[in-house]
Amino acid sequence: VRYLPSQARYKIIIIDEVHMLSNSAFNALLKTLEEPPEHVQFIFATTEPHKIPLTILSRCQRFDFKKIGLSALQSRLRYIVDQEKVAISDTGLAAIARHGGGSMRDALSALDQVIACCGDKVEDEALQHLLGQVSSRLLLATVTAILQRAPRELLELVRQVDDLGHSFRQFCQQLVALVRALVVLKVVDKPAELLDFSEAELVGLRPLAAPACLEELQRVLTLLIRTEAELAVSSYPRLTMEVALIR
């Protein structure tokens, strides 16, 4: 900190995950922040600002960054795969963007892994398997079987999920997101603003949502949310999932 920058006007010091500093380190840093040299700018990055002492926060300007929207993430991923001449569907890119959780860095890391494993041609099923997600085909088939009251088909679908080695909690979480999307489609004119689904995926979901009863969808959603919590502590996850879907 004491030394002047060799070229630029300011020396920029970036501390990533600053909440990981010990109290002793924060106290040592505080002395510099109370009387910072004119040639130094500090940037502190953190995902847990509540862990930073108030004495530090009171001497900083705070900027909260929002998540990047699904469409923006997907557009950027599309640009990259086109430049790299990688064949991948919009559905696949939407899955990667969702996996990123609003973070461009995480989405690009996931894309890197997918290309490393699949090469220049990425199939949707292989992509979802790499991301640890249950395939869209199985999810749609499950929701369809629920709405058609087809317990035999549901038990067969649970068997397939188990055979593929997927986590039943992950399966339930994806079902919750899918049923929520159906509810939003029933009650909102422009659902794309509220859902982490691409426009192509929403087009595929509308025929499923149209004949469904809103009250029934809400009941299914409530039951799935309760089941997801039960799966976190269940010794028999497959049985828990089977009973919930039959109910």
pLDDT of 12 above 80: yes
pLDDT of residue 47: 87
CA torsion angle 49 54 60 61 (round to 10): 60
Residues 6+ apart with CB under 8 A from 45: 14, 15, 16, 17, 18
Q: What local confidence, expressed as pLDDT, does residue 108 receive?
A: 93
**Position 193 pLDDT exceeds 80:** no
Count CB neighbours of 155 within 10 A.
14
Residue 196 has pLDDT above 80, yes or no: no
Question: pLDDT confidence of 92, banded at 50, 70, 90?
Answer: confident
Q: What is the pLDDT of residue 70?
A: 83
Statement: the pTM of the whole predicted model exceeds 0.85: no
The candidate with the shortest Cα–Cα distance to 167, out of 112, 208, 121, 228, is: 228
Q: What is the pLDDT of residues 211-247, one digit of tens each?
A: 888 899 999 999 999 999 999 999 999 999 999 999 9
Q: Which amino acid is at 129?
A: H
User: What digits encode the pLDDT tens for the residues 44-80?
Assistant: 999 899 999 999 999 999 999 888 888 889 899 999 9
pLDDT at 118: 86
Q: Identify the pLDDT of residue 80.
A: 94
Q: Cβ distance 203 to 227 under 8 Å?
A: no
